[in-house]
Every structure is written in structure tokens, then in C-alpha cells.
């Protein structure tokens, strides 16, 4: 078998063959717009990207992972009207737009760390790549793909025959059904490459360009930065499913018009986390963050486990009950794995490993791989073998099963003293005294469990 992944562009699961047999796999993930905290839906998408990267690495590929930070140009309406989300964030927070970007980038990275999501090899900010974006737009202009309106430079989507293929857009139907005010745009799918600053107003984030003072459109940053760090045609580009009809469609259009490639060989999309059937919107400001789960008493990895229970190409509905179930399941798994003790020299079980790999290679079927983990807990295998096997699985899951320790409450000196006396009584085979001491411990609210590593005190 070989790794097979679903490619949205081809609309099928196909074998993943790296473009460059010697070099690393190029992986670009669209990053957050840093005008607010990430909600747990956003984080589901970054968990998907992390599992994709781990899956590729598990299958023996080196990965070069690039993620952008959108810190300018994303407007409140995807039709390139409305206000810049960053400038609005600045008003809301009482900071300048640059401080807002730094603040929410830091918060985002803290969330990634808490979820054990590997850092990309390269982070790139849109505002650090203005020259590259201007150059890209100039090239599109030279090739005749742009036009100018009173508020910006736009991409002329009808000049590109393949426009909209990724989303299988029905262009004529879209135009006929367009009710939104198109402004001066010539066609409903045309989009901004460069927006002019309002004449009588100085924006916090603006730059000089051949077309005048202004700022880049949202889509151009990803075409320009992915080309810089991964080349004009690289292996995998990913993001959330909402990017299919607009953002990724427009990234492909720009790159196709300028460089003649469809940007990436595979286009992969993580499906949404829903809240009781509704979409979770960051712009509403009223949303669940990772810290909401932490404040409710959950370890952040509970959210990781919860997301692992659904395939990345299916929607997942959030509820507090399902988070509770995930917490219980992860707690049981952690305790079981810890109770298996050390793997020592044991090797993972070949049968389980083969099945695990089949699931990973089958378009990252991690829910099945997780079910296999529960089979492993019931399998008739020596504990060290089970331990070695589950730790090999966890390289992909990223649940940090090897590191987990039960929370130890500070044990009062009196309890420690009784436990030590009981241990001494057991060693001298004075079972009656040992039992009496166990009862004394119970009265103080502690139980003692005799494990292979010695007695363990638990609060009852
Ligand atoms: P944004 O910060 O709004 O640019 O979004 C960051 C990422 O989160 C993008 O890849 C979106 O596609 C993704 N995303 C947005 N909402 C959700 C959701 N409810 N579930 C999963 N991913 C989402
Ligand atoms: Zn992007």
C-alpha cells in the first residue's frame, strides 16, 4: 500500500507521490487572520494539518511546512468590501493594528503548543512580504489579467478559462444569481489584488505601490509567499473547507495566470466544527476558545482526542457532553497505558502496526486508528509489547501518552507515615497490621494501590 489522500482539485482519493523524489514534501497551510483569538473550530483545522504532517512523516516523507499569518488585507466581506479586520480589531482592543497582530499571533501560538501541534518550519507574515506581493500583482498586470477601479486593482477572472475549477463553480449561474452589489467589479468572481487607502484617510497599515498608497488583497499573500518558500508548484496546500470557493479558488487563479501552474499538486481541506448544526464564526466575537475548555477543567489534549474521533472530511458537532466523553476516554487510555509500565526492549506488535499503517495510508483514517488502539487495550499481548505499540501509534496521534502522569495531590505527612508503616508491615508479613493501616488510611480519605513500582496513594 501507499499513502492515499483526498485531493479536492481532482475530487478523488489518489496516491500521494511527492513532486521531488529527493527533497522534502512542500506543505502550505493557510494560517489565521490575527484580529481575534482562534476559536476551537479554527483549531480543528490546525489539528488536521498537524495530523497530515505527522501522517506524511510516519510514511517516511520529510516535510517542509510553511504557514502564513494574515495580518493585513482580510476584509469583513469576502466580496472585497467592508473594513479591514485588523483595523477593526485595533479599534476593539484599543491597540494599534501592529500590536493587535502580535497579541493574537502569540495567543494563537500558545494554543498550538497547548494542543501539541508541531510548529511549521517557516512562519510568514503578510506584512513582511509586501514587496513580493507587489511584484506578483505587477506580473499579473503585465500579463493582462488586471484592471483598475476607483478603489483598487482587480483580477479579471473571465480571462482565465479554468477559473473556479477547484470549487466546480458554475460561473454563469453565479453571475445570473448575483444580488450583491458588485461595485465597479466587472464580474462577480473578480477580486481585489491591491486596495487603495481611502483618499482622505491614513490607514495604520499601508504601503506605497506602483498603483498608489494602499494594501494587498487577502488572496495574493498566499500565492506570493508559497512561491517564495516552496516554489511555483509544490506538493500540498491545505486549509478549512470554507476556503474552497473563494480564497483557494483565487490563489489558484493568480498563480495559474502568473506562473502557469495550479499552485499545488494536492488541495486538502479540513471540514468544519459545528455548534448545534451552526457554523462557528470568529467575527461574531462570541465563540468558544481553547481556554473556554481549560476553564471548564479540561486538559487541552482532551480537545485533540475529541477531534481525533472524526475523520477530517466529516463535519464534527461540538457539545459539552461529547467533550466530557472524550475526557473520560482519554483519562482511561492514559491510565491504561501508564499501567502497562515500561516498554523496555519490546518491539511493537507487527500485526497491529500493519493495520495501523493501513488506516493512516487510507486518507488519514485516524478514527479507525483510534478504535484500533482500544482493540489493543483488550488484546492478549504482553504489556511491554502493548506499550511499545501504542507509543508507535502516538507518534501520529500526538496525545503525549508517554509523558502523562496522574495528577498527584500533595500527600499529607500523616498519610505518608501510615503508608510507610503499612509497607513495613507487609514486608514483615504482618498482614493484620497492614490491613489495619489500610483502614486507617481509608478513614483519612486515601486508598493505597499496590503496583509493580510499589504502593501508590490515591485520594478517594
Ligand atoms: P481565519 O482565522 O478566519 O482566517 O481562519 C483560520 C482557519 O480556520 C481557516 O483555515 C478556516 O478555513 C478555518 N475555520 C474557520 N472556521 C472553522 C470551523 N468552524 N471549523 C473548522 N475550521 C474552521
Ligand atoms: Zn491562503
Q: Report the SS3 class of residue 371.
A: helix
- Residue with the smallest CA separation from ligand 1 atom 5 is 32
- At 413 the pLDDT is 86
Which has more pLDDT, 287 or 396? 396
* 306 and 180 housed in the same domain: no
Give the DSSP H or E segment for 238: strand 234-240
pLDDT tens digits for range 51-95: 999 999 999 999 999 999 999 878 887 667 778 888 888 888 888
Whole-model pTM above 0.85? Answer: yes
- Mean pLDDT (whole number) for 104-124: 98
Query: At how many degrees (to 10) do helices 320-339 and 383-397 cross?
Result: 140
Secondary structure letter of residue 232 according to DSSP: S
* 378 and 418 housed in the same domain: no
pLDDT tens digits for range 128-157: 999 999 999 999 999 999 999 999 999 999
* 392 and 439 housed in the same domain: no
Which has more pLDDT, 446 or 360? 360
Indicate whether 408 pLDDT > 80: no
- At 76 the pLDDT is 81
Residue at 65 is within a domain:
yes
Residue at 278 is within a domain:
no
- At 283 the pLDDT is 65
Mean predicted lDDT score pLDDT of the chain: 93
Residue at 291 is within a domain:
no
- At 80 the pLDDT is 77
Indicate whether 38 pLDDT > 90: yes
List 67's β-bridge partners, or say none.
Answer: 29, 123
- At 268 the pLDDT is 98
Whole-angstrom Cα distance, residue 95 to residue 425? Answer: 66
- At 225 the pLDDT is 98
Residue at 364 is within a domain:
yes
Q: Which residues line ligand 1 (CB under 6 A)?
A: 30, 32-33, 41-42, 44-45, 70, 239-240, 242-243, 270, 272-273, 279-280, 282
- At 458 the pLDDT is 81
- Mean pLDDT (whole number) for 388-415: 92
- At 451 the pLDDT is 75
Ligand 1 atom nearest to 247, measured from its CA:
12
* 381 and 430 housed in the same domain: no
Whole-angstrom Cα distance, residue 149 to residue 151? Answer: 5
- At 178 the pLDDT is 66
- At 52 the pLDDT is 98
Residue at 292 is within a domain:
no
- At 90 the pLDDT is 84
Ligand 1 atom nearest to 33, measured from its CA:
2
* 38 and 139 housed in the same domain: yes
Which has more pLDDT, 342 or 282? 342
* 206 and 306 housed in the same domain: no
* 215 and 347 housed in the same domain: no
* 93 and 150 housed in the same domain: yes
**In the chain, pLDDT over 70 holds for what percent of residues?**
96
Looking at all shown ligands, the one closest to residue 243's CA atom is 1
- Residue with the smallest CA separation from ligand 1 atom 23 is 42
* 446 and 352 housed in the same domain: no
- Residue with the smallest CA separation from ligand 1 atom 15 is 42
- Residue with the smallest CA separation from ligand 1 atom 6 is 32
In contact, 328 and 285? CB cutoff 8 Å:
no
Residue at 179 is within a domain:
yes
Nearest to 205 by CA among 190, 195, 192: 195
- At 279 the pLDDT is 64
Secondary structure letter of residue 269 according to DSSP: E
* 338 and 391 housed in the same domain: yes
* 419 and 384 housed in the same domain: no
| Structural domain boundaries, residue 325 | 300-397
Looking at all shown ligands, the one closest to residue 104's CA atom is 1
The number of CA neighbours under 13 Å toward the Cβ of 220 is 29
Ligand 1 atom nearest to 239, measured from its CA:
10
Residue at 382 is within a domain:
yes
Domain end among 365, 397, 429: 397
- At 236 the pLDDT is 98
- Mean pLDDT (whole number) for 439-449: 89
Q: What is the CATH number of the domain that holds 338?
A: 1.20.120.640
Q: Report the SS3 class of residue 26.
A: strand
- Mean pLDDT (whole number) for 322-347: 97
* 44 and 156 housed in the same domain: yes
Q: What is the CATH number of the domain that holds 124?
A: 3.40.50.620
Domain count, the chain: 3
- At 230 the pLDDT is 98
Q: What are 355's three cell numbers?
A: 493495520
Position 367 confidence tier, pLDDT thresholds 50, 70, 90: very high
pLDDT tens digits for range 168-218: 998 878 776 665 667 889 999 999 999 999 888 888 899 999 999 999 999
- At 180 the pLDDT is 63
Residue at 22 is within a domain:
yes
Amino acid at each position: 500500500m501507499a499513502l492515499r489522500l483526498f485531493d479536492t482539485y481532482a475530487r478523488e482519493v489518489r496516491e500521494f507521490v511527492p513532486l521531488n523524489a529527493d527533497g522534502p514534501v512542500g506543505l502550505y497551510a493557510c494560517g489565521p487572520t490575527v484580529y481575534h483569538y482562534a476559536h476551537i473550530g479554527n483549531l480543528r483545522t490546525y489539528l488536521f494539518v498537524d495530523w497530515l504532517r505527522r501522517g506524511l512523516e510516519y510514511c517516511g516523507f520529510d516535510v517542509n511546512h510553511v504557514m502564513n499569518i494574515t495580518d493585513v488585507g482580510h476584509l469583513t466581506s469576502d466580496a472585497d468590501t467592508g473594513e479591514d479586520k485588523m483595523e477593526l480589531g485595533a479599534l476593539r482592543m484599543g491597540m494599534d493594528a501592529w500590536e493587535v497582530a502580535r497579541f493574537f499571533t502569540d495567543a494563537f501560538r500558545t494554543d498550538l503548543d497547548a494542543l501539541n501541534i508541531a510548529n511549521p518550519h517557516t512562519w510568514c507574515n503578510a506584512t513582511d512580504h509586501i514587496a513580493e506581493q507587489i511584484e506578483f500583482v505587477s506580473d499579473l498586470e503585465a500579463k493582462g489579467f488586471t484592471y483598475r477601479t476607483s478603489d483598487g486593482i482587480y483580477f479579471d477572472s473571465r480571462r482565465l478559462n479554468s477559473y473556479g475549477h477547484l470549487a466546480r463553480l458554475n460561473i454563469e449561474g453565479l453571475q445570473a444569481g448575483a444580488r450583491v452589489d458588485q461595485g465597479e467589479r466587472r464580474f462577480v468572481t473578480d477580486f481585489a489584488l491591491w486596495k487603495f487607502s481611502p483618499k482622505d484617510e491614513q490607514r495604520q497599515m499601508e504601503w506605497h505601490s506602483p498603483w498608489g498608497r494602499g494594501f494587498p488583497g487577502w488572496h495574493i499573500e498566499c500565492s506570493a509567499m508559497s512561491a517564495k518558500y516552496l516554489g511555483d508548484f509544490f506538493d500540498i496546500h491545505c486549509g478549512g473547507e470554507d476556503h474552497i470557493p473563494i480564497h483557494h479558488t483565487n490563489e489558484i487563479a493568480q498563480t495559474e495566470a502568473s506562473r502557469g501552474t495550479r499552485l499545488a499538486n494536492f488541495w486538502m481541506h479540513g471540514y468544519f466544527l459545528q455548534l448545534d448544526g451552526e457554523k462557528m464564526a470568529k467575527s461574531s466575537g462570541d465563540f468558544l476558545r481553547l481556554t473556554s475548555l481549560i476553564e471548564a477543567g479540561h486538559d487541552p489534549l482532551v480537545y485533540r482526542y475529541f477531534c481525533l474521533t472524526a475523520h477530517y472530511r466529516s463535519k464534527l458537532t461540538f457539545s459539552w457532553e461529547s467533550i466530557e466523553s472524550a475526557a473520560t476516554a482519554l483519562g482511561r487510555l492514559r491510565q491504561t497505558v501508564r499501567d502497562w509500565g515500561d516498554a523496555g526492549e519490546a518491539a511493537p506488535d507487527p500485526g497491529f502496526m500493519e493495520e495501523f499503517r493501513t488506516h493512516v495510508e487510507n486518507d488519514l483514517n485516524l478514527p479507525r486508528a483510534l478504535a484500533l488502539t482500544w482493540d489493543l487495550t483488550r488484546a492478549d499481548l504482553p504489556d511491554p509489547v502493548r506499550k511499545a505499540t501504542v507509543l508507535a501509534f502516538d507518534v501520529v496521534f500526538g496525545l503525549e501518552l508517554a509523558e502523562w502522569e496522574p495528577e498527584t495531590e500533595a500527600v499529607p505527612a500523616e498519610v505518608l507515615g501510615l503508608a510507610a508503616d503499612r509497607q513495613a508491615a507487609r514486608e514483615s508479613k504482618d498482614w493484620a497490621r497492614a490491613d489495619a493501616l489500610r483502614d486507617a488510611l481509608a478513614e483519612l480519605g486515601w486508598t493505597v494501590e499496590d503496583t509493580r513500582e510499589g504502593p501508590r496513594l490515591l485520594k478517594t
